[in-house]
Amino acid sequence: MTDTAIISDAGFALHVTGGAGAGFSLTYFGPSCAAHGTEPLPVLPAGPDRPPGPRLLAMRGDGYDGISHIEAVRLEDGRAAHLIPVSIEQVSGTALHLHSADEAQGLGVTLEIRLGHGLLHMRTRVRNGGPAPVLLIRCAALLLPLPDWADEVISGYGAWAREGHTARRRLDAGFSGKASRLGRTGFDGPPGIVICAAGTTETVGRALGAQLAWSGSHRIHAERLRDGAVELCAEAIYEPGEILIGPDETFETPEALVVLSEQGLDGLRDVWHAHARRQVRPVTRPVHFNTWEARYFGFDEPGLIELAGQAARLGVERFVLDDGWFAGRRDDRTSLGDWTPDPDRFPNGLAPLIRAVNDLGMSFGLWVEPEMVSRQSHLYRARPDWVLAFPEEAAPTGRNQLVLDLSNPEVVDHLFGTLSGLLRPGGIDYLKWDCNRELYPASRNGRLRATAQVRGLYDLLDRLQAAFPELEIESCASGGGRIDFGILPRVMRFWASDATDAADRIRIQDSLSRYIPAEMIGSHVGPSPNPITARAFPMAFRGLVSMFGHMGVELDPAKLDAGDHATLTQAIALHKKLRPSLQAGTYKVLETGDASLHVSGLFRAGSGEFLLRVLRTAMSVYPLQARITVPGLPGGARYRVRELVLGEESGRELGILTAETLAWAGFQGDPRRPDHGRLFHFLPIR
């Protein structure tokens, strides 16, 4: 076999060649070019006489010392899969398939590669055409040789209410990346990493971003091999014995996504945001009021109607009833699984509350946690065999709850029927879908089923969206525990963190914005002092932090003094006025030399206008603060600059500035005081 294939799209190209005994060689991946030559690989000292080189569908056995793309064995005799390249199939100008096979086992493997909208899509399919079952031990969605400029790895880390931290490391020998092994994406952010050249900044330098579109256990890492080559691997983690492929059966991995940029990290962000927006239908995102930090479990119908009235007077557009509404739920130790309104709190069901909320001009949303069950519940007593870890009566719990087995179609059918019963009467147009614990153990009757659990969740969400096409769902997992491109097509919004602390939210939302557009990130004004950190912040600062996101409120309005009430009302009104720009803008982080100064902008394509937000979290080292510069604007452009101030209808005119002035000299926009911020509107002069 000797073959060559080239695909290209949106200014990028990928070249693959194949030759007998040489596997599939990735000869080029980068900006489109007219031609790209290849040179023979040198024989390295103490190395194979035929150097394996950078390959796709790589397998060990010929001197290659990296990780294999796939590891599988035939159950009847333990024979390991040994794949031989078969063909390169040019599917179209933007797609190709690489076919390998182990003919002795009847096993065929296809790597599907596609370019579209500036993204590289890769997925692996495994087909068992033999007579015996094959146990799949591991199978990467992507195993990609990286270019020589791959010097550093950027990855996320964090924990509950501490999401959004970033590590940047030199890509030296060995592995660098991240993994989640508890059946859920995790608080360390989406399953992705960034590979970049040394010195790459937000706006300058080469970078490659990779994401695995999967909501379960995963591993994504870069490895520098002994010969100095670097490879990127993205894969779902399969538990032992979990993936058994029977005769004539096919298994496919989740999809891996790759983005390239020559304009620094901002170039990656732009492509990820465009991709995310294509995955969901466009909606106007109403300002939320969530009851949790206002009432926790302490409410009844009259009290909620009063609370809804207070929310409406703030200008809120959607009222979301959080945990505690269903039968017997007074704390987090009971009643999950019994999704019927509590008769003591709601003697006539939820309908009177929904009508009251609608009469106030707001839509209604509801918190649910369908994947979970409490031992103290009617559902668990009736069907203990529906729970992961069955029949272990002393199975470990998290937040006092167990996980329903969504690999069981009966369980999925039951949940679909229960949720449909809530939604069918109408009035509930939004579900805050929570998942407050990970999968441990991810088994039932001793059979591991973490992968099937995720697929069962996807099936349930897909069925609900098909049955209720106007329904909006938020992905929440104790905050930011399940944010990824696998669940994204099934939800409209992500709850970034249970932390509503304004200073922490700057970091959390900024980190998440590397992948997810601001309008999909739930961003709420919380109480002060904050219930998690005990820090206090001015209302104007909390409002500005929440404004660059899907804005919401999560506090008790009755506890606000007149000044804070007026400021929050004004912030909500300003957010709604600016919403067209906020929800369609390109989000960018502007670099400053002050770690306590956060500058970000939303640039609206087409109109040329943009909003610039400047937030200060601590005193400047020097009393004379640096000016704010805005690089990258079109040359010769002129802007009328206005500061938008809460409480001032028209704002403050700052004059006219040119793109060159903004890029080189900047303007005086520092808030000067800690926990204060400023918001500027730049309108182009035609």
- CA distances 78 to 71, 137, 240, 403, 565, Å, are 12, 12, 14, 34, 69
Q: In Å, what is the CA distance from 131 to each residue of 109, 248, 249, 251? A: 16, 8, 11, 16
Distant-in-sequence, close-in-space partners of 507: CB < 8 Å, separation ≥ 6: 164, 165
C-alpha to C-alpha distance for 115 and 125, rounded to whole angstroms: 18
Does an H or E element contain 501, and which? none
Instruction: List the beta strands (DSSP E) in 262-301.
Output: 288-290
- The first and second tokens of residue 496, run together, are 């970034």
Phi-psi region of 355 (alpha: psi -120 to 50; beta: other; left: phi over 0): alpha
Q: Answer positive or negative: Cα dihedral of 411, 413, 419, 421.
A: negative
Cα separation, 599 vs 92, whole angstroms? 43
State how far the Cα of 448 lies from the Cα of 469, in Å rounded to an integer. 33
Q: How far apart are the first and last CA of the chain?
A: 60
> What is the three-class DSSP state of 393?
coil
- 532 phi, psi to nearest 5 deg: -95, -45
* Residue 664, token pair as written in the block: 């080189």
Compute CA distances 636 → 610, 639, 686, whole Å: 16, 10, 11
Angle between helices 409-423 and 450-467 (to 10 degrees): 30
Q: Could you tell me if 362 and 309 are in contact, meaning their C-beta atoms sit under 8 angstroms apart?
A: no
Q: Which DSSP string do the residues of 440-492 spell out, in sequence order? A: SS-EETTEE-HHHHHHHHHHHHHHHHHHSTT-EEEE-BTTBS--STTTGGG-S
Residues in the chain, how many?
Answer: 686
Give the Å distances, CA to CA, from 167 to 204, 231, 264, 271.
19, 19, 17, 22
Token readout for 501 is 């602390």
| CA distances, 183 to each of 113, 403, 435, 449, 575 (Å) | 27, 11, 11, 10, 37
- Contact present, 607 and 676 (Cβ < 8 Å): no
Which one is catalytic: 188, 322, 342, 498?
498
The C-alpha atoms of residue 237 and residue 217 are separated, in whole angstroms, by: 5
Separation between Cα atoms, residue 116 and residue 136, nearest integer Å? 30
Annotated catalytic residue within 338, 405, 434, 484: 434
Question: Which residue's structure tokens are 């891996």?
Answer: 256
In this structure, are residues 421 and 396 in contact, taking their beta carbons and an 8 Å threshold?
A: no
Cα–Cα distance for residue pair 225/243, rounded to 1 Å: 28
Question: Which residues are CB-neighbours of 26 under 8 A, at least 6 positions away?
Answer: 14, 15, 16, 54, 55, 56, 144, 145
498 catalytically annotated: yes
Q: Please report which helix (H) or strand (E) contains residue 558, including its range.
A: none
Alpha carbon 40 to chain centroid distance?
41
The catalytic residues are 434, 498
